[in-house]
Chain A
């Protein structure tokens, strides 16, 4: 998770300063996945969760849009990625490091 912390300003890291995890983003935002990070709360299962996320298309470079939230606590999230809709919880979303896609596209 350390990668999500703001880091010092080398040119490459400037871009990373804008990185958030998906659970920190808002409804309606379109985002680009930069990396999958570890989520200690999944314990030993973390690698499997990463694998399943990747298999479903949550890969670096993929774009997704947050469509909305479930009934309580803005959890789970519904997202649209490559035309397919998925529901995922905040905890899964916290494994996805994303950057903002400018609205110009």
Chain B
């Protein structure tokens, strides 16, 4: 970012619509940390369509500078300018939810005492008007002595006035650079009671609220938060998501799969025989195509998670599950990080910063990778499609879908068991729950699409970089050295990959893995889904006839118990360096990271071995 740009920071309670405003103001061209849902990482972008350079930062939602979680500490450190490597923000853009003014204004009045230049955006004005709330913004502006702007985060014109005010401030404070505020300067000079007294005075003078009445929100809450009905709904929602991931995606998957098949055939027909043709067909197309076909499933999963998060439903789920989760030493607060881990453990582990209890946070980090992440889907779906017949169970459920659900369930149950065991090592100490249940909101298609676009882009970038590179590397390992002229066995067994697999194979013999499976585990350390392209490459190179699709090739060469054992391995194995790296970063402990890695590999080894041995007895 240019050093001449002024830095503005969006500050506000969780769920006040900051991120939506941020998307509009930066034209959604923000440099966003890689991960979905929660704003735990630095999000920053240049404000578009204004005549001064302004860098806008979207800080994590916070209720107070008196922090109670790591997430809130990030917000506080950023606001004060105490974050290492970050200049303090020159201007604060406080955002409050117009339907929840009291709570929002309390933070605003606390921020006001810091003495930073500030403006106030009253967001969700449309929802407030619908509820009959009238706000005299001119009066509030005069009373607070800072610019007060109405915004509607869901619609783009709803932030036009805020953009104009930001531009104005950018000119006014052009020569001014913010200073770091020390802890001593940030100490409160006013009690909470006194602040609320001031808020009541402000609200009496400038806001008219209709008498509180029950509305559709309350009616909806009575159902979705009902101890029994609500839990049934939650279970149905989750089951629907997993069914959708499998069922809805398959037409698109077939389309992509078919496309790569045709592409491979075309290249095979028109390119001259030789090493280059092998490279393009068996290395590039088989490797990249093998992973790209799973994009639809990943998109569907992220779509549902974003939808549930934006609508406000997720905190209800956290509420319902708080007590059961405490049984294993977690709490409702861990639910959202764990659910995010179904998409990817990396953002899941990062979002544990919202968990106030350090002990619970550590346990959540340790078990988060047991939630089946989307990178495991390619592996699961490949093997399920190859080995589990496509049958209906009870006339409705698809047997393949049920198997997938079973794998998810295995991860969840194991996570619960692991959390319970880990809890035994700690003395119990109580932390409060205190969770705001935000109003239900219709998720905006615009912001959903932006969120999805980010996910798709990250996935494609990975396919284009890491996965492409590994496919090429693996192809090379599988192709060289070439087999001797008088070779009797398939050429790949003479290659480096073949030798490496043969070296690893004895270690994995108790679970029945063949050397191809062992080879695929190595690049899968970079990303689990690469196991699929690795298998595709290994089997494409080794196949007598390249017409055999990968699934069929596996169906022919693997026994069912081995396939199940491979699935079991992937349920547990910390097969992804990114996850291990993020555990190191978030725990800041080598011991914890080593424990994490060893315990998950040990579980994977035992589970795969047990699966193979037991399944071999019956099948």
Contacts and interface: CB of A to CB of B under 8 A. Distances in A.
Interface of A: 41-43, 45, 48-49, 51-57, 59-60, 67-73, 75-76, 78, 80, 82-89, 91-92
A88 B64 CA distance: 18
Given A52-B432, A72-B323, A83-B212, A59 B102 contact: no
A83 B101 CA distance: 10
Contacts of A76: 319, 322-323, 332, 433, 435
B617 interface: no
9 contacts: A54-B193, A59-B193, A70-B322, A75-B322, A76-B319, A85-B221, A86-B435, A87-B332, A88-B435
Contact of B437 (A48, A82, A85): A85
A76 B437 CA distance: 12
Contacts of B432: 42, 45, 49, 52, 88-89, 91-92
B324 A89 contact: no
**A interface majority secondary structure:** mixed
Interface string B39-66: 0000000000000000000000001101
Interface string B317-335: 0111111100000001000
B196 interface: yes
Contact of B436 (A41, A48, A56, A60): A56
B63 A41 contact: no
A76 B315 CA distance: 13
Contacts of B320: 70-71
B553 interface: no
Interface stretch (B166-174, B224-232, B441-449): B224-232
Given A51-B192, A67-B225, A43 B429 contact: yes
A70 to B, nearest CB: 5
Nearest to B331: A89
A51 B323 contact: no
B227 A69 contact: yes
A53 B315 CA distance: 18
Contacts, number: 122
Given A54-B193, A71-B324, A78 B227 contact: no
A68 B222 contact: yes
Contacts of A84: 100, 102-103, 436
Contacts of B323: 70-73, 75-76
Contacts of A85: 221, 436-438
Given A52-B64, A72-B323, A76-B319, A91 B196 contact: no
A71 B231 contact: yes
A51 B196 CA distance: 13
B66 A51 contact: yes
Q: Which of A52, A71, A72, A86 has most chain B Cβ within 10 Å?
A: A71
B106 interface: yes
Contacts of B226: 68
Contact of B68 (A48, A80, A89): A48
B437 A86 contact: yes
Nearest to B68: A52
Contacts of B99: 83
Contacts of B192: 51, 54-55, 59
A41 B430 CA distance: 7
Interface in B81-131: 99-100, 102-103, 106
Given A43-B429, A70-B323, A85-B438, 5 more contacts: A45-B431, A56-B103, A70-B319, A80-B218, A92-B433
B424 interface: no
A70 B437 CA distance: 13
Interface in B203-220: 209, 212, 218
Interface in B182-207: 192-193, 196
B324 A72 contact: yes
B196 A71 contact: no
A88 B102 CA distance: 19
Given A73-B323, A88-B434, A67 B221 contact: yes
B227 A86 contact: no
